Chain A
Amino acid sequence: MQFEPDEDQRAVLDGLEQLLGALDLEAPKEGALSAFSRTLDQQLADSGFLQVAREPGFSLLEAALLVERIARTPVSAEAAASALVLPLLDPEVARPLALGNQITAPARFLPHARTMLVDNGEDVLLVEVDAGNVEPVETLFAYPYGRLRRTQDLRIRALGPTMATPLRRRWRLAIAVEGAGLMQAALDEVLEHVKTRHQFGRPIGSFQVVQHRLAMTAATASAARWLALRAAWSDDEADCAIAATYVQDAIPRLTYDLHQFCGAMGLTLEFRLHLWTYRLKALLGELGGSSAQARTAATRAWSPARQ
């Protein structure tokens, strides 16, 4: 078993670091509810990082490593769906990609998307998105959300119901990988705070109650990352569902703990923590939430076919 990136993976990650380092990825202006960075999104697409899973010698695992790192930036870009879901489709299908369960419901990244994939329970539809047909939806969940203004006269291609299983598998993988990156970045931000914030004459990070819960949070973030990478490596139905279950299940406890130790300051938009926890909260309920993923995990992991 190998737990460290190999030489090629290291080279790809170093390349991403160079790209991120060259960009000014500062937090959005105070009060902005969406932290979407068009610059980052475009640069990621132009540089080819989001197509890494299609490259010879590379796989979903490299794509997952990149998505996890991108999630740790203070801004959002449509990376997870492009890098992990789009490789299921023809190379000419355009990104950014929005994923949805209903053609009429608000979807993440739709205001910037050129394609929407809709799993409506009966079929998987590939919708070409016309920017003029998207109405932005203001939410408190950091990602840009939007909904289609009209659903008639759309350019739609039915991919067939057999696409539903792979689409959901990769969607779960995307939730898990991005969630793992967000968890780690949020934890890093809080660790800085508890070392420098003093109450009762000492850093609050010196109190055992704070240390214990942050230690648990670190274990959760680490577990999420390994489960997500394992799922990317295997691209297995059960692994992807288990990773998404774990991440979605852990989000509420983890985000409450992280905000708790930043006090009221952590609830403000002046403090950076929300840049990651807002996104975690959006992932919390996606694809039916952790209970839906858990049922899939149970069905797939312990189905007679796998015995």
Chain B
Amino acid sequence: MSDPDRLEVFRAQARSWLAANVPNESAPSEGQPSREFVLRWQQRQYTDGWAGLTWPKEYGGRELSAIEQIIWFEEYAAARAPSTHDASFVGVNHAGPTLIACGTEAQKAFHLPKILRGEVLWCQGFSEPGSGSDLASLRTSGRVVGEEMIVTGQKIWSSYADIADYQELLIRTDPASTRHRGLSWVICPMNAPGITVRPIRTMAGPPKFSEVFYDEVRLPLGNVVGGLNNGWRTAMSTLGFERGTASLALQIRLVYKVEELIRRCKDPALAAQLADLRAQAAALRAMTYRFALSQGRGAPGSEGSIIRLYFAELTQRVTEAAIDVYGIAAPEVLQDHGWGFEYLDGFSETIAGGTAEIQRNIIGERVLGLPRGAG
């Protein structure tokens, strides 16, 4: 079969499977119901071969190319399947890929199949109350004692920490170190004794974020990913995935959402605005596809920040246009997971995974090669 024919067959299979399997019910927003829904949907995709399309076969993936991944996400968006920006996001889109890039064989063999099979959820533990944009100033410590480290400190903005099984935890393991040196990226089981999770309510509604407190939490050194005191490098891989390829499905979904608004719009004044958004969505699509198709197995480079920034700001423009298209009191705006939620949730797009200002610094310094500023 020629390549185009093969891809068309793949697309038809994806479309047909999604038509038969996309859940009818709306995804619960929080807590155990959300966990169960997300894991069930992941299991269903895995069972029929629609999870881990680009992951290595030995860990449960299909080792397909980025083209198949894009086709799958196109059909996924068209079928209005559950948003991938749910509690499975961290595990599937950057914890798993970080383990593939930096983990030991034992770590990969244990964790990757569990993620794909929908047995576990992951969360991220990078930011701290005093260390947001300035991530390298983090203070949560891991004191190495024999074959263990004893973790003490606090993390914040950990999405879905209240229902996750594991956390990508970035801590300072060399007490004499400063800034980027002396950090370690550690797999932290969320049921370890000494961990307390406190959900935080956000203005978008459900308590997606949590604070996590660590009181003498003992973790084996075997949980370190990418080498002890080498955590900044591993974290940059994670952030590379998070900023580069993790949002591929969401970027494609946004393009489809713009089309939905265009179909609904009856107001000529708004039509001009939507035409502009459609142009921006087309540009996002082109940038996203080119970037995804150019990636190898490793973590994406700094150019991912261009797409991350463009996507974040376009998300905000599209959701605010939707309020105009539907009207503030429309059911499409007020209902669960409606445009009102999308609009408010969109505020976090230019903050999570590095603020828009940090992305601009990265683009300026690492992509454009401009001199580093004083800050």
Residues of A within 8 A of B (CB): 30-31, 105-107, 137, 139-141, 145, 198-200, 202, 204, 207, 209-210, 252, 255-256, 259-260, 263-264, 267-270, 274, 277-278, 281-282, 284-286, 288-292, 294-295
Contacts and interface: CB of A to CB of B under 8 A. Distances in A.
A267 B357 contact: no
A10 B316 CA distance: 40
Nearest to A107: B329
A284 B133 contact: no
Given A264-B127, A268-B209, A284-B323, A291 B269 contact: yes
B327 A200 contact: no
B166 to A, nearest CB: 22
Contacts of A30: 201
Contact of A267 (B133, B134, B327, B347): B347
Contacts of B329: 105-107, 137, 145
A291 B273 contact: yes
A295 B272 CA distance: 14
Contacts of B317: 252
A289 to B, nearest CB: 4
Interface stretch (B52-60, B79-87, B113-121, B336-344): B336-344
5 contacts: A141-B340, A267-B204, A268-B201, A268-B209, A281-B344
Nearest to A277: B203
Interface stretch (B100-108, B251-259, B288-296, B348-356): B348-356
Contacts of A199: 131-134, 137
B324 A289 contact: yes
Contacts of B357: 207, 209-210, 260
A134 B328 CA distance: 19
Contacts of B205: 140
Contacts of B347: 255-256, 259, 267
Given A31-B201, A289-B324, A267 B350 contact: no
Given A268-B201, A294-B269, 11 more contacts: A30-B201, A106-B334, A141-B328, A199-B132, A260-B351, A264-B127, A267-B351, A269-B202, A281-B343, A282-B328, A284-B323
B7 to A, nearest CB: 39
Contacts of A270: 200-201
Contact of B202 (A107, A137, A267, A290): A267
Contacts of A268: 200-203, 209
A94 B347 CA distance: 39
Contacts of B127: 264
Contact of A260 (B200, B327, B333, B350): B350
A291 B323 CA distance: 12
A159 B149 CA distance: 76
Nearest to B333: A285
A290 B203 CA distance: 24
B375 interface: yes
B270 interface: yes
Contacts of B340: 139-141
Given A264-B127, A291-B273, A140 B344 contact: yes
Nearest to A137: B334
Contacts of A295: 269
Interface of B: 127, 130-134, 137, 156-157, 200-205, 209, 267, 269-270, 273, 316-317, 320, 323-324, 327-329, 333-334, 340-341, 343-344, 347-348, 350-352, 355-357, 360, 375
A282 B340 CA distance: 10
B203 A274 contact: yes
A267 B270 contact: no
B81 to A, nearest CB: 24
In this complex, the member of A140, A252, A282, A294 whose beta carbon has the largest number of chain B beta carbons within 10 angstroms is: A140
Given A199-B133, A200-B134, A267 B348 contact: yes
A200 B316 contact: no
A179 to B, nearest CB: 13
Given A106-B329, A139-B340, A291-B273, A264 B348 contact: yes
A204 B131 CA distance: 12
A263 B351 contact: yes
A265 to B, nearest CB: 8
A270 B200 CA distance: 8
B80 to A, nearest CB: 22
B133 A256 contact: no
A198 B130 contact: yes
A123 B138 CA distance: 62
A259 B348 CA distance: 9
B207 to A, nearest CB: 9
B375 A264 contact: no
A215 to B, nearest CB: 16
B53 to A, nearest CB: 31
A295 B270 CA distance: 11
A204 B156 CA distance: 19
Nearest to A275: B203
In this complex, the member of B137, B202, B328 whose beta carbon has the largest number of chain A beta carbons within 10 angstroms is: B328
Contacts of B269: 291-292, 294-295
B65 to A, nearest CB: 36
Nearest to B201: A269
A294 B351 CA distance: 32
Nearest to A138: B334
Given A106-B334, A140-B344, A264-B209, A278 B203 contact: yes
Contacts of A145: 329
Contacts of B327: 285, 288-289
Closest 9 CB pairs of A and B: A285-B328, A291-B269, A289-B324, A199-B134, A106-B329, A274-B203, A285-B323, A252-B320, A264-B157
In this complex, the member of B137, B323, B348 whose beta carbon has the largest number of chain A beta carbons within 10 angstroms is: B323
A259 B327 CA distance: 23
Contacts of B320: 252, 284
Contacts of B209: 264, 267-268
Contacts of B202: 267-269
Contacts of A278: 203
A285 B267 CA distance: 14
Contacts of A137: 329, 334
